[in-house]
Amino acid sequence: MRMFLNGTAMSGGADHHLVGDSPLVARTTTAPRYRFHAVDGRYPALEDVGPGGAAVVGEVYEMDPAQLREVLLPGEPDGLELGVIELADGSGSLAMVLRREYPRLPPLIDISELASWRAYLERRQ
């Protein structure tokens, strides 16, 4: 299963261990149809807005279903849910996206102009 990662589980990130030995398939971007948010400044979230969105930087991994289900997904924040996104090449991938209905969602900071979690973290320092 292809899984697009755009936050702390990317290579070099604090949660990259959750990927296990899943092979990296590509470093790429999403199609330009997403708003990119920092949720309370703690983790990133993609929101599909259609035309006029940003192309967000990330990595695609080929994940074993057990690794995804038993290790990666339980480590994800509850403000996200599993969804399918469009990549720059037009193909689809699983990804964690902003939960559509979530009454306790912390404040969102739009970081679409950066389109990169790493760039956001660097700017904060």
Task: State how many domains the chain has.
Answer: 1
Res 5: pLDDT? 98
Question: Which structural domain range is residue 27 located in?
Answer: 2-119
Length of the chain, please? Answer: 125
Give domain status of residue 78, yes or no.
Answer: yes
Res 20: pLDDT? 95
Res 71: pLDDT? 95
d(CA 46, CA 112): 9
Give domain status of residue 77, yes or no.
Answer: yes
**Residue 49 is part of a domain; what is its CATH number?**
3.10.490.10
In the predicted model, residues of the chain with pLDDT beneath 70 are none
Residue 25 tokens, joined: 């398939």
In this prediction the pTM is 0.94
Give domain status of residue 125, yes or no.
Answer: no
Res 49: pLDDT? 96
Give domain status of residue 113, yes or no.
Answer: yes
Q: Which residues pair with 38 in a beta bridge?
A: 44, 109
Characterize 59-90 residue by residue with b for buried, 16 or more Cβ atoms within 10 angstroms of its Cβ, and e for exposed: bbbebeeebbeebbbeebbebbeebebbbeee
pLDDT tens, residue by residue, 60-94: 999 999 999 999 999 998 889 999 999 999 999 99
Secondary structure (DSSP) of the chain? -EEEE-STTSTTSTTGGGGTTPPEEEEEEB-S-EEEEEETTTEEEEEE--TT-BPPEEEEEE--HHHIIIIIGGGS-TTEEEEEEEBTTS-EEEEEEE-SS-TT---EEE-TTT--HHHHHHHH-
Give domain status of residue 124, yes or no.
Answer: no
Give domain status of residue 81, yes or no.
Answer: yes
